[in-house]
């Protein structure tokens, strides 16, 4: 549901547009951006935000660096993109963050493709990729999706964003804390969370979390197995 006219710069940037907003800093996987742009020359990769001095930005004819924008301008750039991306490196820093841009993307009704971040696994309206190849496949899926299916994904994205309003999150937490016989492990359905995380167990930083959950679930043999895997 477009609410703002397209930015003037978009006149010279053809669709489909793949959008990233934020600082191009050390935690951004520039090699992944280069991989995507090289393999999909027919897509336009739009990057809005500052670039750190020590970053060697990827260059390709279809990568468009638009620099800093006022916060109030961002919805127009986002709403006229086909896919939004969060191409972060997977390391101890990035798996411990929940990027605000993810929820801003969703609120604009733009489907999102991300690298692995535990806090946003399996959020409707988004796809989490475990490799460069999976990331590209997910972008392709959203770009080539039929209009009705795409609008359904956009609706899922908006609905997901609503569930992450501060008031909604606080209400759920307080409800768990104030309930009789409070057990956050049960309230959070740890078995389900464990299954979701297990799909990304190729990353050592995810295995750390899985080990903690296995202990919490009293699955001690599984915790030891995961630990031995890390040692190897």
pLDDT digit string (tens) for 78-123?
999 999 999 999 888 887 788 899 999 999 999 999 999 888 888 9
CB half-sphere exposure, 84, CA atoms < 13 A = 27
Three-class secondary structure of residue 122 per DSSP: coil
* Cα-trace Rg, the chain: 19
pLDDT (tens digit per residue) in 208-223: 888 888 898 888 999 9
- pLDDT at res. 49: 94
Instruction: Enter the tokens of residue 196.
Output: 């979701």
With a CB cutoff of 8 Å and minimum separation 6, the contacts of 140 are: 40
Please answer whether residues 55 and 61 qualify as being in contact, where contact means their C-beta atoms are separated by less than 8 angstroms. Answer: no
The pTM assigned to this predicted structure is 0.84
- Tokens 């489907």 found at: 111
């Amino acid at each position: 549901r477009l609410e703002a006219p397209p930015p003037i710069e978009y006149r010279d940037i053809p669709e489909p547009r793949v959008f990233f907003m934020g600082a191009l800093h050390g935690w951004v996987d520039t090699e992944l951006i280069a991989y995507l742009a090289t393999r999909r020359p027919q897509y336009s990769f739009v990057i809005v935000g500052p670039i750190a001095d020590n970053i060697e930005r990827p260059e390709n004819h279809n990568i468009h660096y638009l620099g800093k924008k006022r916060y109030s301008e961002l919805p127009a750039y986002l709403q006229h993109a086909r896919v939004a991306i969060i191409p972060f490196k997977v390391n101890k820093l990035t798996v411990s963050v929940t990027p605000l841009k993810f929820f801003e993307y969703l609120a604009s009704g733009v489907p999102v493709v991300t690298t692995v971040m535990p806090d946003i696994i399996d959020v409707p309206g988004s796809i989490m990729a475990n490799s460069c190849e999976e990331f590209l496949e997910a972008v392709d899926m959203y770009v080539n999706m039929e209009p009705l299916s795409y609008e359904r994904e956009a609706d899922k994205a908006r609905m997901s964003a609503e569930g992450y309003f501060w008031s909604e999150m606080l209400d759920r937490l307080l409800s768990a804390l104030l309930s009789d016989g409070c057990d956050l492990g049960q309230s959070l359905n740890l078995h389900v969370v464990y299954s979701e995380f297990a799909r990304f167990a190729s990353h050592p930083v995810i295995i750390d979390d899985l080990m903690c959950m296995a202990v919490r679930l009293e699955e001690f043999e599984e915790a030891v197995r995961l630990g031995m895997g890390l040692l190897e």
